[in-house]
Amino acid sequence: MCYQVACGGGQHAHVPGGGWHHYRGCCCGTGCAQRHFPTREEIIEELEEYLKQLKAETRDVEERLAEFKKTG
């Protein structure tokens, strides 16, 4: 049984800043994979993907801001 409040026993992806609970597998119930601690390479991969998403979001905000300034 999982002791995380919001778990529900399912698979969970890593959310940057949200911890590594259930990273690459589940620690709940029978038949689940053993708990996996991320390797250095996995952490780097996750952070690079997160940075890519943040840069895309920044571009979107800059475009929206430029539209507002243009319409004055």
- Report domain extents, the chain: 1-37, 39-72
User: Whole-model pTM?
Assistant: 0.50
Residues 6+ positions from 35 with CB-CB distance below 8 Å: 25, 27
Q: Are 38 and 19 in contact (CB under 8 A)?
A: no
pLDDT in tens, 1-28: 444 444 454 444 445 555 544 455 555 6
Q: Considering only CA atoms, which of 50, 13, 44 is closest in space to residue 22?
A: 13
